[in-house]
Amino acid sequence: MHELAITEEILNLVVSEAKKNSATKVKLVKLVIGEMTGIVNESVSFYFNEISKKTIAEGAGLSFRRIPAAGRCRDCGHEFEVKDFVWACPHCGSLNINITAGKELYLESIEAI
Ligand SMILES: [Zn+2]
């Protein structure tokens, strides 16, 4: 489960950002996750609840913004949303595709007091 390692990184970032801003308690953590990452929201929530205990992020809510996978055809320039991991251009059928979205994984913002 790579979600644990990822969640640890998120937590470290949240705690250090909160401390930088002299926060005493983190209330909400907003994450952006691309569909290509294969990360499951529920797993991140589960691990976050566990590993944030006794940190200033304990009890913080998590919100997720999912970014659909998207590609751009290198042959015809068509841009499209990728469904079911089918990496072929729906316009010309080319497999020569650039991934343009869906690999996102970052902390968008933190609400803290
Ligand atoms: Zn194409």
What's the CATH number where 75 sits?
A: 3.30.2320.80
Report H helices in the chain.
Answer: 2-20, 41-51
pTM: 0.87
Distance from the alpha carbon of residue 101 to the mean position of ligand 1, in angstroms: 17
Q: Which domain holds residue 105?
A: 2-112
pLDDT at 85: 79
Query: Which residues of the chain carry a pLDDT beneath 70?
Result: 1
Q: What is the pLDDT of residues 31-60, one digit of tens each?
A: 999 999 999 999 999 999 999 999 999 999
pLDDT at 26: 98
- Work out how many domains the chain is built from and give that number: 1
pLDDT at 69: 95
Distance from the alpha carbon of residue 97 to the mean position of ligand 1, in angstroms: 8
In angstroms, the CA 32 to CA 8 distance is 16
Positive or negative: CA dihedral 75, 81, 87, 91: negative
Distance from the alpha carbon of residue 39 to the mean position of ligand 1, in angstroms: 28
For residue 26, the SS3 value is strand
Distance from the alpha carbon of residue 33 to the mean position of ligand 1, in angstroms: 26
Contact 52, 66 (CB under 8 A): no
